[in-house]
Amino acid sequence: MNKFRKYVEVGSNIAILLVCALIAYVAITRFILPKPHDNSISGPTVGSKLNIPEFDLGEKNRGIVLAISTQCRFCSESMPFYSQLVAAAQTRGIPVIAVLPQGIAESHVYLQSHGLNIQDIKQMPLDRIGVLATPTILLIRGAGLIEGVWVGELPSTSQAEVLARIH
């Protein structure tokens, strides 16, 4: 009987140690170590397709989508470049679509106050088109194929690249 008691005690101690190790593992991996990035939420990518029926480029085979917000400081700071971009696109007959999460009226006033004359304004959550950060510029070709993505307030070299891509 004494031998049996010893086996039960050793087995119990091993079980307690295993449970403690499991709790430590869960605590460390869940609360201490940084979480890995989920690549599935990285935003729109070149080569992917923008499947939004509201974006009708009509007879044109390319277009520009400006995903911005009235609440975004970087959007407001980027407005001089967006004025250049919209003017260059309009002279080449390239449609520009502004997508904002705010209402159409508020968005129209915001764009007009910054000198942007964009006729096609859409209101929708930006994550519906995969945009996770504002401002984002998407260059679209054909039936919604994304050919270029620029995120954030762009330095002058990236601005020149965007303008060159629409020529």
The pLDDT profile of the chain, 167 residues, written as one tens digit per residue, is: 788 888 888 888 999 999 999 898 888 888 777 665 444 446 788 888 876 666 666 556 788 999 999 999 999 999 999 999 999 999 998 899 999 999 999 999 999 999 998 988 999 999 888 898 899 999 988 777 889 999 999 999 999 999 999 88
CA-closest candidate to residue 46, choices 145, 164, 167: 145
Give 2: exposed, middle or buried? Use CB within 10 Å, 0-12, 13-18, 19+. exposed
Q: Strands of 96-100's sheet, edge to edge?
A: 120-123, 96-100, 62-67, 136-141, 145-151
Domain containing residue 160: 39-165
In the chain, how many domains are there? 2
CA dihedral 99, 105, 110, 113 (to 10 degrees): 130
- pTM comes to 0.71
- Do residues 32 and 47 share a domain? no
Most distant CA pair in the chain: distance in Å?
96
* Residue 98: Cβ-neighbour burial (10 angstroms; 0-12, 13-18, 19+): buried
Q: Are residues 48 and 24 in the same domain?
A: no
Considering the domain architecture, whether residues 59 and 118 belong to the same structural domain is answered as yes
Give the β-pairing of 136-141 and 145-151. Answer: antiparallel
Q: Are residues 103 and 22 in the same domain?
A: no
Q: Are 30 and 50 part of one and the same domain?
A: no
Same domain, 7 and 51: no
The reported pLDDT for the residue numbered 51 is 66
* pLDDT at residue 62, as a whole number: 85
Specify the pLDDT at position 70.
Answer: 93
